Amino acid sequence: MRKMVGGDCDFPSFIVSGIRAIQLSSLPLPWPQYPSNAMERSQMSCGAFNEQDIEEAFTCLEEAGLPMFDARELYPCEDFLGEMVAHWKKRQLKLQSGVKQVRPFIATSYQARLFGKGLLDVRGGRRAVLRALEHSLEALQATRVDLYQVTKPGPLYWGGEKAIFEAVAQAKRMRLLDHVGVIGYLTEEDLRRAKDVAKQHGINLRSNSFELSLANPAAALLDGTVAACEKLGIMPLANRPLAGGLAAGTYTMMDPSGGRSRKPRYTFPDLEPLYPVHKALREQAGKYTEKLGRRVNTAQVSINWVRAQGVIPVVGVKTGAQAKDMVDAAAWDLEAEDVQELSRVALDTYSKRRKITELIAKARR
């Protein structure tokens, strides 16, 4: 497995993202109160979900020593996460004094686009960032966030990156946040520029979040995004490492519905280009099930391929069973030759770029 970057900073070895995911990896960062050999990022889905299931997932992560959550700002996640953390704090008060507990690691984001939460939320400049962060803190019932991630601003965003990082620096001076990351910076040029602008305002850029999966391997195998993060000492985080189920073996030619009774999201022709990836995943899952003497599924194989690229995967979980599955995945690694074979298959499959790109876009909806 490739070495993770960012080990020289005080950023914890767990980062949790968008209340919709779990992230794992053995990232060697100096944050002693968290075990460094386990899953790193938990994010639970705030779309359609069963509240009891989400609470079970939260409890599973907490008991595994992974109470780290990031509620993406424009999703209906922050209020829910705030309630869960508030309940967690109440439980801690009932515990015996002197028992050291791991506090939740809270992250959220700022979406630097023209409109935020509705047409009346017009965004631009520094004030929009501070206003959004204040709203996030209120929803999270928190006085600060551990990680604040900002998206790459579009051409219509007034003030651009300069205004955003000026606001973030002000928020840091006000002790409203600890660490700062970016989302969606795919080239070394863009990432270097963002790092330089942040540095001008006294900000050390910690992380860069982008899409990476066996269905969409470009950031690691083609575009150089992962290499740029390594070169600049920025921690790479993989959003959608299972590509909405396309890289997990959930949706296949033989099962376009993913085992659900509703109308299938995909058709047989939709999923045909991904057949080689799904076949390779099944083969690897069978191999490691036999090797480890316990159940290994295709999602775990896919996640561990992302980890092998030196990237922290952010995996969606909605139930306690899914959370347990991801915790188990953190206990083993793919062998080098298996990583290479999966990369070869993924790259060959991605060469049918147009069809795969259309399919990934469909998975986002």
Strand 105-110 and strand 145-151: the pairing is: parallel
Residue 44 structural domain: 22-245+309-332
Instruction: Report, as an integer, the average pLDDT of 210-219.
Output: 93
Return the H-helix or E-strand segment holding 206: strand 205-211
Residue 138, helix vs strand vs coil: helix
pLDDT for position 184: 92
By C-alpha distance, which of 230, 233, 269, 265 is closest to 251? 265
pLDDT for position 250: 86
pLDDT band of residue 16 (cuts 50, 70, 90) is very low
pLDDT for position 149: 93
Tokens of 181: 């990351």
Residue 206 within a domain: yes
State how far the Cα of 309 lies from the Cα of 69, in Å rounded to an integer. Answer: 23
Residue 26, helix vs strand vs coil: coil
State how far the Cα of 334 lies from the Cα of 332, in Å rounded to an integer. Answer: 7
Instruction: Report, as an integer, the average pLDDT of 48-68.
Output: 72
- Average pLDDT of the chain? 77
Residue 256 within a domain: no
pLDDT for position 171: 96
- To the nearest 5 percent, what fractions of the chain are helix, strand and coil? 45, 15, 40
Q: What does the DSSP assignment read for 250-283?
A: SSBTTBTTTT-SSPPSS-HHHHGGGHHHHHHHHH
pLDDT in tens, 82-130: 777 777 777 666 665 555 556 777 878 888 876 666 666 667 788 989 9
pLDDT in tens, 118-143: 666 667 788 989 999 998 898 888 89
**φ, ψ for residue 35 (rounded to 5)?**
-60, 135
Residue 90, helix vs strand vs coil: helix
* 17-26, 314-323, 355-364 — most confident range: 314-323
State how far the Cα of 251 lies from the Cα of 193, in Å rounded to an integer. Answer: 39
Residue 165 within a domain: yes
Residue 174 within a domain: yes
Residue 31 within a domain: yes
Question: Which residues are CB-neighbours of 223 under 8 A, at least 6 positions away?
Answer: 186, 187
Q: How many CA atoms lie within 13 A of 347 on its CB side?
A: 11
Q: Is 283 exposed, middle or buried (0-12, 13-18, 19+ CB in 10 A)?
A: middle
Higher-pLDDT residue of 156, 191:
191
At 147, the amino acid letter reads: L
By C-alpha distance, which of 215, 243, 210, 242 is closest to 229? 210
By C-alpha distance, which of 351, 358, 338 is closest to 269? 358
pLDDT for position 193: 95
Residue 220 within a domain: yes
The tally of domains found in the chain comes to: 1
Lowest pLDDT segment from 84-93, 223-232, 334-343:
84-93
pLDDT for position 4: 47
- Which position has the token pair 């079970």? 56
pLDDT in tens, 318-338: 778 878 877 888 889 999 999
Residue 3 within a domain: no
pLDDT in tens, 239-256: 888 888 889 888 888 887
- Assign residue 69 the CATH number of its domain: 3.20.20.100
In this predicted structure, the answer to whether residue 154 has a pLDDT above a threshold of 90 is no
State how far the Cα of 62 lies from the Cα of 104, in Å rounded to an integer. Answer: 8
pLDDT band of residue 203 (cuts 50, 70, 90) is very high
In this predicted structure, the answer to whether residue 173 has a pLDDT above a threshold of 50 is yes
First to last CA, the chain: 32
Rg of the chain (C-alpha set): 20
Residue 62 within a domain: yes
Q: Dmax of the chain from CA atoms? A: 60
Query: What does DSSP assign to residue 239?
Result: E
